[in-house]
């Protein structure tokens, strides 16, 4: 019984750390406008897309798109590369928080699965 309790406490600790690490990312992707921008980024090629192109596809103003992209970039959700005076925004596994978010969600899912299995054993 003790290893199971320890395992649960360790999971809870890791989940708490994950929430702390991903807090700004979750806040950033919780906004509907930023979700629309993320969808545009997902539909674009991996080389990136400029603010004007995102604005045209979302019917948002360029200043609004720039504002939301800065929030996404600061939260580690979107990456940016410069070519001269042009900025290209894109999604990247290596330069963003996506892996940490996926790991946290998978850990939570595994914990819920573990709890559900324990409930089924008690009921059965």
* Cβ contacts of 79 within 8 Å, gap of 6 or more: 73, 89, 90, 91, 92, 95, 96
Strand boundaries in 4-124, DSSP class E: 79-83, 86-90
Structure confidence by residue, pLDDT tens digits, 40-94: 999 997 789 999 999 999 999 999 999 999 999 999 999 999 999 999 999 998 8
Place 102 in a pLDDT band, splitting at 50, 70 and 90.
Answer: very high
Structure confidence by residue, pLDDT tens digits, 24-52: 999 999 999 999 999 999 999 778 999 99
Place 117 in a pLDDT band, splitting at 50, 70 and 90.
Answer: confident
CB contact burial 70-90 (16+ within 10 A = b; e otherwise): ebbbebbbbbeeeeeeebbbb
The number of residues making up the chain comes to 124
């Amino acid at each position: 019984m003790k290893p199971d309790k320890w395992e649960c406490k360790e999971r809870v600790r890791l989940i708490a750390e994950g929430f702390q690490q991903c807090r700004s990312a979750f806040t950033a992707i919780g906004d509907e406008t930023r979700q629309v921008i993320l969808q545009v980024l997902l539909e674009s090629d991996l080389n990136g897309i400029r603010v004007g192109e995102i604005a045209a596809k979302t019917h948002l103003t360029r200043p609004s798109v720039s504002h939301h992209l800065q929030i996404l970039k600061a939260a580690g959700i979107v990456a940016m590369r410069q070519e001269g005076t042009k900025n290209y925004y894109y999604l990247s596994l290596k330069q963003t928080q996506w892996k940490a978010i996926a790991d946290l969600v998978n850990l939570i899912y595994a914990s819920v699965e573990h709890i559900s299995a324990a409930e089924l054993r008690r009921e059965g």
